Structure 1
Amino acid sequence: MDVRWDLLPQAEWEEFHSAHQGALQQSWAYAEALKTLGVTLQRAMVWEEGRLVAIAQFMCKRMLGYISLASCTRGPVFLPDVGPAQRAEIYKRLRQSMPLPRLRVTLFSPDRTAQELDPVETQGMSRVMTGYATVLLDLTMPLATLKAQLEGKWRNRLNKVLSNEKLRVHVTPSLKRCQWLLAQEQAQREAKKFHGLPTDFVQAYIAASADPRQAFVVAYAELGKNSVAGMLFLIHGRVASYHMGWADNEGRQLNAHNALLWQAMAYLQGEGMQVLDLGGVNTHDLPGISRFKLGTGGRAVTLAGTYF
Structure 2
Amino acid sequence: MAITNITVISHTFFYLLGIPGLEDQHIWISIPFFTCYIVALLGNSLLIFIIVTDNSLHEPMYIFLCILAGLDISLSTITIPKALAIFWFNSGGISLNACITQFFFIHSTFVAESGILLLMAFDRYVAICYPLRYTMILTRSVIIKIVMSIYLRSIVTIFPMIFLVKRLPFCKNNLLPHTYCEHIGLAKYACASFRVNILYGLFVIFITIVLDVILIVLSYCMILHAIFHLPSQEARHKALNTCGSHICVIFLFYIPGIFTVLVQRYGKKIPPHVHILIANVCMLAPPVMNPIIYGIKTKQIKNSLSHLLFHRKR
Which band: TM-score by shorter chain?
Answer: under 0.3
TM-score relative to the length of structure 2: 0.22
Q: Which has the higher strand share?
A: 1
Which one scores higher on RCO, CA 8 angstroms, separation ≥ 6? 2
Larger Rg: 2
TM-score relative to the length of structure 1: 0.22
Q: Which has the higher helix share?
A: 2
